[in-house]
Amino acid sequence: MTTILTVAGRLLPAAALAALLLAAPASAQEFPSTPPAPGEPQPFSLPEVRSFTLDNGLDVTLVPYGALPKVSVSVAIGVGNAAEGDGEAGLADFAADILTEGTTSLSAEQIAASAASMGGSVYSGAGLDQTTVGGRALSEFAPDMVRLVADLTMNPAFPEDAFARLQSDALRGAAIARSRPGTLAQAAFRRALYGAHPYATMVLPQPADIQAATLEGARQFYATHYGPRRSHVYVAGLFDPEAVEAAIRESFGAWEADAAPMERPDVPAETGRQILLVDQPGAAQSNVIVGLPTIGPGEEREIALDVTNALLGGSFGSRITRNIREDKGYTYSPGSSVSSRLGGSYWAETAAIQTPFTGPAIREILYEIDSLATNPPAQEELEGIQNYLAGTFVLQNSSADGIAGFLRYLDLYGIERDYLEDYVREVYAVTPEDVSAAARDLIRSDDLLIVVVGDREVVEPQLAEFGEVTVTTLE
């Protein structure tokens, strides 16, 4: 008999369901003429989390989560590009990328085939402050994926042919980066903020530095910086907790590398109004970044800054976007964001602006910042932004990968995990006055760094009203 799941979880025969529908009044079968009003997004509810530490110092977090038969396994290692010293440019990337290229017992092809047989894949990569190695699989293979990720993390083979290919890819990527005005603007902006620190130099690596990197250098970087005491294993999704914990203890328990826990970098960021121009003769657009150092994750006014950023430039309906995109047509893709760094975060608005309107667009950006700093937004405008942020936050954490990624983020910055459950409530607690104060105190227009990559002949006269212009290069 054909059955259909219906009221109260009971299985009713299809014929019985049809009878119920036919018996319903006509009005109940008609669709409403207007959609229901959207409700307020509900607070995020963190599932039960089990955390423990192995005898070798490796932290572990297990998060049974979701309804799909999938699991996410990842290892966060407390090292990234920020740890690169003199003569080590790119080694964090090489050491991370080569992990999936072969272990002491598996070739790259065998790794890929093993992951595919579990219905998943593996990955590795370095960020500025953290490296991640991980994999995704069907739930029934969770313990096997744990073992595979452990093998990748602990037993890299460092094959010579793979390193040569990664080095060639890096050289090609560096050449492409130098042809992109947006990347040039990012490089100039970060160099002005962070000087010679890897936070800046990794944006536009020098080909000579990439060519100077060696396989032995990558191997030594791994030996120095990878180890259980600066690593954290995360498993999220649907899985057997006992079987997964046993696999973690069995496979990761033998890791004996002695890399010390990561130290938080101290990267002084420059402040004060600067105007930097990188000449691109004949450019039809100016790539513009306007920004400054600001507070980082977990600091007292972080949520107010999130709301302020979304209202100002960090959402499609934001003030700057409406002004310079919708109203004036100066640009197609403006946007602002807060970029988090362990050693110093920053806020920035970016836009590719039609060359003749470079100065007017920057003027409007500064106007919107000053206007918000002076006049609190209307409650209706604020509520729209709060709904957007709350809804986006819940959606971002609705998958196993999403929740694992956010837990890695919280642990990297030393933020308590109740942040996840408090975020939506705290977003709605931000007042119009809080937003205005954040714009005034944390996005100070007088301290903004303005970087422009564009046609100097056309653009430089337009920038004079904002202060002294310094023409710079990225060589």
Upper half-sphere CA count for residue 463 (Cβ side, 13 Å): 28
Q: How many CB atoms lie within 10 A of CB 51?
A: 14
- Number of neighbouring beta carbons within 10 Å of residue 109: 9
Q: For the chain, give every domain's residue range.
A: 50-252, 274-472
Grade residue 22 by pLDDT with cuts at 50, 70 and 90.
Answer: very low
pLDDT at 42 over 80: no
- Are the C-beta atoms of 279 and 471 separated by less than 8 Å? yes
**pLDDT > 70 in the chain, percent:** 89
Asked whether the predicted pLDDT for residue 77 surpasses 50, the reply is yes
Provide the pLDDT confidence category of residue 191 given band limits of 50, 70 and 90: very high
Question: pLDDT digit string (tens) for 199-208?
Answer: 998 899 999 9
Residue 271: CB atoms within 10 A of its CB come to 13
- Other Cβ atoms within 10 Å of 312 Cβ, number: 27
Separation of alpha carbons 413 and 404, rounded Å: 15
Asked if residue 356 has pLDDT above 90, the reply is: yes
* Residue matched to tokens 């944390």: 442
Does the domain at 274-472 match CATH 3.30.830.10? Answer given as: yes
The DSSP bridge partners found for residue 286 are 353
Judged by average pLDDT, the poorest of 2-16, 123-137, 336-350, 374-388 is 2-16
CA 94/CA 202 separation, integer angstroms: 13
| Confidence (pLDDT) at 306 | 98
**Phi, then psi, of 145 in degrees rounded to 5:** -65, -35
Residue 8 pLDDT level (bands cut at 50, 70, 90):
very low
Separation between Cα atoms, residue 97 and residue 169, nearest integer Å = 11
Structure tokens at 183: 């990347």
pLDDT score of 258:
74
Count of CA atoms in the C-beta half-sphere (13 A) of 286: 30
Q: Between residues 475 and 141, which one has the greater pLDDT? A: 141
CATH value of 50-252 in 3.30.830.10, 3.40.50.620, 3.10.105.10, 3.30.110.30: 3.30.830.10
Do residues 269 and 164 lie in contact, with contact meaning Cβ atoms separated by under 8 Å? no
d(CA 411, CA 24): 54
Is residue 357 predicted with pLDDT exceeding 70?
yes
Query: Do 50-252 and 274-472 show the same overall fold?
Result: yes
pLDDT of residue 28: 47
- HSE-CB of 355 using CA atoms within 13 angstroms: 17
- Spatial contact of 74 and 248, defined as CB atoms under 8 Å apart: no
Nearest to 124 by CA among 87, 73, 172, 89: 73
Q: Is the pTM of this model over 0.85?
A: yes
pLDDT band, very low/low/confident/very high, at 102 (cuts 50, 70, 90): very high
pLDDT the model gives residue 20: 35
- The angle formed by the CA atoms of residues 292, 293 and 295, to the nearest 5 degrees, is 130
Whether residue 13 has pLDDT greater than 70: no
pLDDT digit string (tens) for 396-453?
998 999 999 999 999 999 999 999 999 999 999 999 999 999 999 999 999 999 999 9
Predicted confidence (pLDDT) at residue 334 exceeds the cutoff of 50: yes
Whole-number Å distance between alpha carbons of 43 and 61: 22
